[in-house]
Amino acid sequence: MGRGGGVWLVKEGVVPSSSFRLSKTASPASTPMRRKVSAWIELLKPVTWIPIMCAYVAGALCSAKFTTASLADWRLWLGLVMSGPLISGTCQAMNDYFDRDVDAINEPYRPIPSGRISLREATLGISLLCGLTLVAAYLIHPWIVALAVIGIVNAHLYSAKPIKLKRIVWVGNATVAASYILLPWMSGELAFKGQISWTATAVAVCYVIASIGSMTTNDFKSLEGDARMAIHTLPQVFGVRRGAWLGVFVLNAGQLAAAGLLATLGEWGWAGLVGATVLPQMWFQRTFLADPIGKAVWYNAHAQGFLVLGMFLAAWAVRA
């Protein structure tokens, strides 16, 4: 994946990215099947499924019908499979497929540009995953099918020519963030409540804004390839330092907006807890801002847990 994608459009780098470079450490004695499986795991990037699955759980938490007994509910577990391995994996693979020219510059060892997965294999695999995604979505709730289709379409628009939304400042990250947070959040609500709450959706939108800033940190590891391919990320347009500051500002603003929204609803205690999750992130941001290129992955590894914690707290605060 050149710089991200998937639904729902999770962008690599939003969480710690080791890229699952299994093929680099594979034994020379590995069988062809084992090498192929390793390449597919690398292509689907399991580490990037986690935030999407968390957004689905956050949506479920918004429902008063979600209780400790729901931990054994098939809708929870099928939803996690759908939002993680299926649709996120689909869109990660799709993004790598369309970004193979960028990856050939930035990360030529990846499965598609390296030839470990052919274009035909990628096409068949993506098609199969898309089909399984839609089946899983329908089993949970028919309306989730529509959300899944929107996520897959967004992944295509984000990476594929001629539109390639990632080339447009802010628009690419906004598309990713909306798919990354809002769609799985709404799916979790539909699964357990059967409808969507506008209050919960407003909270989710606050975290969409936060995620736009968070995803900016991923842009610092692909500056050379982005410049060659005319992909206009924040650091490309505004410079490394200014782009880092803008990303951090938007990240914090979205989370504080969620806290403010809870306060206006009279949930002062929850608002304080959500606001408190921003403080440790600001501590890590000091190091990131001092060296955005060198510390981007480090920052994601240390700070993203607090972002997810705040999201869970905000979701629980508006459960109904």
Q: Dihedrals φ, ψ of 5, to 5°? A: 155, 150
Q: pLDDT for 97-156, tens place per residue?
A: 998 887 888 788 889 999 899 999 999 999 999 999 999 999 999 999 999 999 999 998
Q: In whole angstroms, give the CA distance from residue 298 to residue 133.
A: 32
- Which helix (H) or strand (E) segment holds residue 30: the answer is none
Least confident residue range of 40-44, 147-151, 173-177: 173-177
Q: Dihedrals φ, ψ of 55, to 5°? A: -65, -35
| Residues whose CB falls within 8 Å of the CB of residue 68, separated by 6 or more in sequence, listed in order | none
Amino acid at position 282, single letter: M
The sign one gets for the Cα dihedral 293, 302, 217, 213 is negative
**Domains (ranges, CATH) in the chain?**
35-317 (1.10.600)
Amino acid at position 68, single letter: T
Q: In whole angstroms, give the CA distance from residue 6 to residue 151.
A: 7
List the structure tokens of 242.
């200014």
Amino acid at position 116, single letter: R
The conformation of residue 63, written as its DSSP 8-state character, comes to S
With 90 as the cut, is the pLDDT of residue 186 above it?
Answer: yes
Burial 55-93 (b: 16+ CB within 10 A, else e): bbbbbbbbbeebeeeeeebebbebbbbbbbbbbbbbbbb
Q: Give the model's pLDDT for residue 205.
A: 97
Q: Give the model's pLDDT for residue 23.
A: 44
With 90 as the cut, is the pLDDT of residue 21 above it?
Answer: no
Are the beta carbons of 133 and 87 closer than 8 angstroms? Answer: yes
Q: pTM of the prediction?
A: 0.85
Give me the count of residues in the chain.
320
SS3 9: strand
